[in-house]
């Protein structure tokens, strides 16, 4: 795998780490954070499908070796909605001809 490439914990797709949402188990507090902080990390595509799989199969907890609270999934859902890659797609679909 190339440097700075990561793998989605749900679909196992490999991409530059900037393309993923990052969930971090902070060191040394073991709190779960999103996108920033140092510690054990899990990567997830900014796609609802991957978030659903991660949640259903409890992949985040397993990868991070820490319980992932409901609030983290809620925050991820929000991030997903506002993620630049996702937004660009939605704009393309929603407003084809407005000017
Ligand atoms: Zn994925």
14 in any annotated domain:
yes
79 CA from centroid of ligand 1 (Å): 15
Identify whether the C-beta of residue 79 lies closer than 8 Å to the C-beta of residue 44: no
35 in any annotated domain:
yes
99 in any annotated domain:
no
15 in any annotated domain:
yes
14 CA from centroid of ligand 1 (Å): 8
Q: Would the pLDDT of 75 be above 90?
A: yes
29 CA from centroid of ligand 1 (Å): 27
Question: What is the reported pTM?
Answer: 0.81
pLDDT 10s digits, 32-70: 999 999 999 999 999 999 999 999 999 999 999 999 999
Structural domain of 87:
5-94
Number of structural domains (the chain) is 1
**What CATH number does residue 55 fall under?**
3.30.1230.10
59 in any annotated domain:
yes
12 CA from centroid of ligand 1 (Å): 6
The pLDDT of 69-89, averaged and rounded, is 82
85 CA from centroid of ligand 1 (Å): 13
49 in any annotated domain:
yes
Contacts 24+ apart (CB under 8 A), 54-61: 54/9, 54/10, 57/10, 59/9, 59/10, 60/9, 60/23
21 CA from centroid of ligand 1 (Å): 10
pLDDT 10s digits, 7-41: 999 999 999 999 999 999 999 999 999 999 999 99
Q: What is the pLDDT confidence band of residue 83, given thresholds at 50, 70 and 90?
A: confident
């Amino acid at each position: 795998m190339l440097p700075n490439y990561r793998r989605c914990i749900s679909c196992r797709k490999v991409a530059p780490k900037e393309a993923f949402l990052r969930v971090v188990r902070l060191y040394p507090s073991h709190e779960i954070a999103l996108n920033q902080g140092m510690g054990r990390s899990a990567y997830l595509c900014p796609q609802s499908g991957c978030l659903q799989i991660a949640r259903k199969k409890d992949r985040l907890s397993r990868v991070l070796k820490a319980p992932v609270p409901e609030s983290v999934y809620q925050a991820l859902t929000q991030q997903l909605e506002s993620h630049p890659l996702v937004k660009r797609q939605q704009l393309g679909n929603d407003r084809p001809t407005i000017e």
